[in-house]
A and B are shown apart, each in its own frame.
Chain A
Amino acid sequence: MQIYLPIAELSVNVFLLLGLGGAVGLLSGMFGVGGGFLMTPLLIFSGIPPIVAVATEANQIVASSVSGVLAHWRRDAVDVKMGLVLVFGGSIGAGVGVTLFRYLRDLGHVDLLISGAYVLFLGTIGSLMLAESLKAVIRRRRGTVKRRKLHQHMWVHGLPFKMRFRKSKLYISAILPMGIGFLVGVLAAIMGVGGGFIMVPAMIYLLGMPTGVVVGTSLFQIIFVTAIVTMLHAVNTQAVDVMLALILLSGAVVGAQVGAKLSGKIRGEELRTLLALMVIGVCARMAYGLVATPEDPFSVVPALG
């Protein structure tokens, strides 16, 4: 069954979209990640215009983060104060990101910006994850477990504007979470991701937050930042396709529930290795698109204005 997407302005198979949503939802349920970094590239690979893919995915992530955060909220595992500081940085980042996005779109480089950002971030994160999870697998096989310190003190902890984050048991400079929020906000705007894959490691390793509140707080701030990104894209690029978002969402919520049930049955390290390989796979496909000789070096778009 084909459906005509009003903003993307093309006709796509509904079951393909539901399947995509379901598959990415399954993975996000299994791994506890948002899935934007998989969904946006898959939409682009299946022919949705990159601008629409990014803007619409931001909208979809709002929904999936809301449904994700509620469970953490009930367990009181959200550091609201930290979340709001992250959102403050994130909203500035989102503004900068959408402005950059629009500027490069007018120059004809926005596809390059999206692919480039994906290759850079997925490549880095994927390699780090792969190395880390492989090490963990080897360590477990050898049977040695090293204890980690609660958190380490680095130069960043000497910055001014210190704030107390009671739930995270931290007394640190607000500049650091704001900076992280800013970076993630930029990425959300240009990549159509929630940024959990950067936010979660940054919270653990850079901020030193206790792991119990990390995921809930990350989801909490993702809701706000992706909502702001959705708004900014709606106004600046008119590329948010509500119909596409709702179809993806219906597939994703079901997939996420199934994934969450499955995740208990697979060992953590293997799961992380699998995720790392997927991240690297998407990165490689994006990189191939940048370097492979195109079928036709010319492209045609309706001129703006």
Chain B
Amino acid sequence: MQTSRSWIFSAARRGTVGLSTVLIFLSIAERAGAAEPLVTDISERLISISSDFTGTELLLFGALGEVAEGERGDVVVVVRGPTQRMMVRKKKRRAGIWVNTQAVTFEDVPGFYAISASGRLEDIAPLSLLARHQIGLDHLRFKPTPDSRTVVLASPERLQGYREAMVRTLKREGLFSEEVDSIRFMSDTLFRTRIAFPAKVPVGNYRAEVYLIRNGQVVPGGAQSSPIFVDKVGIGRAIFNFAHRQPEIYGVVAVLLALFAGWVAATVFRKL
């Protein structure tokens, strides 16, 4: 543990990492020293969407236990958001105008899904393992809902097209990401990675999973899962909840507010 400890102290002196980071590091380094194969922690467990929220980044740290020379293995981090049903619509040109035609709805689509790994997923683990743990965008299982039957029955290729379009769109919006080689090892045993959340990240309960994989298998005790919460806070949360829970009263308040604002504007400018 000596090497990792000296690294973190020198990094703290150089000012490249903050004090809290040092503390997290020291605590997980201690625990990893006590023969746990994998210890991890995240810089924050609660992401608050406030009025000035423009997206955020979490730092995930980890330390490996006793590691034999050249036997370190690989680390994969998966952050999954709450699942929801997603509708994928396809536009076609009809009489010169682009119109939504068919749609497929998928169930169990995570609203957020980010992968970070210390290498290429295919090199780290066999397909069976990736599929079992749904690691990697290609290994997520989305089931089309029964009402999407017409497209599903028409052809599997077409369904695949909808699936790919959904993944492509969510990637473009920063909600899905798969970054290989993005986990940095600062020493033989200490690693860290960043997970970026865009401004339009959905609220709900998230799960950060960390897998330590050696020789194509998850090391015993080398799988960890911890929760992250994403929630709106402050005035934004109040407005959102009000609008969805008491829409009638919200509407009345919105109108009254507008009437008042209009009257104030007219009165103020009349006096100027």
Does B254 lie within 8 Å of A234, measured CB to CB?
Answer: yes
Does B251 lie within 8 Å of A235, measured CB to CB?
Answer: yes
User: Is the C-beta of A9 less than 8 angstroms from some C-beta in chain B?
Assistant: yes
Does B91 lie within 8 Å of A2, measured CB to CB?
Answer: no
Does B240 lie within 8 Å of A7, measured CB to CB?
Answer: yes
Does B199 lie within 8 Å of A230, measured CB to CB?
Answer: no
Contact with B along A282-305 (1 / 0, CB 8 A): 000000001111101111111100
CB distance from A258 to the nearest CB of B (A): 10
Residues of B within 8 A of A5 (CB): 236
Residues of B within 8 A of A231 (CB): 248, 251-252, 255
A207-258 CB contacts (< 8 Å) to partner B = 223, 227, 230-235, 238, 240-243, 245-246, 249, 253, 257
Chain B: CB-nearest residue to A224: B255
Contact with A along B239-253 (1 / 0, CB 8 A): 110011001101111
Does B262 lie within 8 Å of A66, measured CB to CB?
Answer: yes
Q: Which of B97, B258, B270 contacts A112 (CB 8 A)?
A: B97
Chain A: CB-nearest residue to B236: A6
Chain B: CB-nearest residue to A231: B251
Contact with B along A105-138 (1 / 0, CB 8 A): 0011100100000000000000000000000000
List chain B positions with a Cβ less than 8 A from chain A. Answer: 49-55, 84-93, 96-100, 103, 105, 111, 145, 162, 165-166, 168-170, 199-200, 232, 235-237, 239-240, 243-244, 247-248, 250-255, 257-259, 261-263, 265-266, 269-270, 272
29 A-B pairs with CB atoms under 8 Å apart are A4-B50, A4-B52, A4-B53, A5-B236, A6-B239, A10-B200, A62-B258, A67-B266, A68-B266, A71-B266, A71-B270, A108-B100, A112-B99, A230-B251, A230-B254, A234-B247, A238-B247, A242-B254, A242-B257, A243-B51, A243-B235, A246-B257, A246-B261, A298-B89, A298-B91, A298-B162, A301-B86, A302-B85, A302-B86
List chain A positions with a Cβ less than 8 A from chain B. Answer: 1-7, 9-11, 59-60, 62-68, 70-71, 107-109, 112, 223, 227, 230-235, 238, 240-243, 245-246, 249, 253, 257, 290-294, 296-303
